[in-house]
Amino acid sequence: MLDALQPFLEDKKQTLALNGGDDPIRLILAYFSTDNQNIDELEKLKYNKALYRRLGWQDEEWFDVISSFYQVYCCGLAWVCSGKTCNDYGADWSDLDGGDLPPFRLEQDGTFKALFRLPDPQYTFVKKKTLAGKMLKPTTIYSAVSRELIARKSQYRELAALTHTVANFMPCPCFSYNALKGTREQVRDFLPLMADYAERQGNQEWKDWFLFNREKYCLEDYYYIYTGEDHTAHLKGIPFFRSQSLDHPLPRTEEELTECLDEMIKRIRVRACRLSGIPD
């Protein structure tokens, strides 16, 4: 059974020339921060030809990562340093105004910001590539927060290793779908919320795609289909934590974060069983 699942759970980052070593966290951060122009998005066909052919996906043009590591990683960074200050993590902040502030903050709208030592310390939006690069430097205050997070929530290591596996890849309708899922404030790169968004916004093309491809692409654990009072089919995302919705997309408490991580990991592993044809 494990041999049958292995191809669907193989971390595609392991095949790249990255400087992350065997540690899943360092490896995914190295992938996010790489300057190698030859490294592309790992869900693309060129990295997965054999398995995509086996699954009948070889003629699909667009692919997406189902569950994003980065979103819940940022939520975790903000959570773990909440109530702490930069001075708690590094003495180099002790002589600066701002040393009594947390290194990271999650704004009410879900925007993730880091505290930077500019002429006056201030919270600034930070790009994924930039933050990942800082996390790989062991002496930064940011990497200190990351180490504390991973020590307290070991699920991040498992999720990092599962993020770039075929069990977490799916065909998707078009490029604009992919871009919107990753940037829309109400969705925040969560597939269940993308199904809810398609339902709420009434985008019939995307809604039809979800309706027709749920079983075809083994997405049963991410949303379901029901018949409404109007006697037509509707979509409902299956949240990763109980209170998750378009109005509350990100986990903000420890309970929400733990539930979200556990569900993301479980669903990737269950989908590997579905894709391999093994009953879960």
More confident residue, 19 or 262: 262
Q: Express each pLDDT in 155-182 by its tens digit.
A: 999 999 999 999 999 999 887 888 899 8
Q: Express each pLDDT in 84-96 by its tens digit.
A: 988 888 756 554 4
Average pLDDT over residues 41-45: 96
pLDDT at 1: 61
Tell me the C-alpha to C-alpha distance, in Å, between residue 246 and each of 104, 105, 179, 185, 186: 23, 21, 17, 8, 5
pLDDT at 271 over 80: yes
pLDDT at 92: 60
Answer yes or no: are the C-beta atoms of 278 and 7 closer than 8 Å: no
Confidence class of residue 232 from pLDDT cuts 50, 70 and 90? very high
Average pLDDT over residues 52-78: 96
Confidence class of residue 122 from pLDDT cuts 50, 70 and 90? confident
Which amino acid would we find at residue 114? A
pLDDT at 177: 86
Answer yes or no: are the C-beta atoms of 190 and 79 closer than 8 Å: no
Average pLDDT over residues 30-54: 95
Phi and psi at residue 104, in whole multiples of 5°? Answer: -130, 155
pLDDT at 220: 98
Average pLDDT, the chain: 92
- DSSP sequence for 134-170: HHTSTTSHHHHHHHHHHHH-THHHHHHHHHTSGGGEE
In this structure, of 20-24, 78-82, 166-170, the range with the lowest mean pLDDT score is 20-24
pLDDT at 150: 98
Q: Please report, for the chain, the start and end positions of each structural domain, with discontinuous segments joined by +.
A: 2-23+43-68+163-276
Answer yes or no: are the C-beta atoms of 27 and 158 closer than 8 Å: no
pLDDT at 86: 85
pLDDT at 279: 66
Write the burial class of residue 56 (CB in 10 Å: 0-12 exposed, 13-18 middle, 19+ buried).
exposed
pTM score above 0.85: yes
Average pLDDT over residues 147-160: 98
Q: Express each pLDDT in 182-217 by its tens digit.
A: 889 999 999 999 999 999 987 788 899 999 999 999
Six-digit token pair at 275?
A: 């894709």
pLDDT at 275: 96
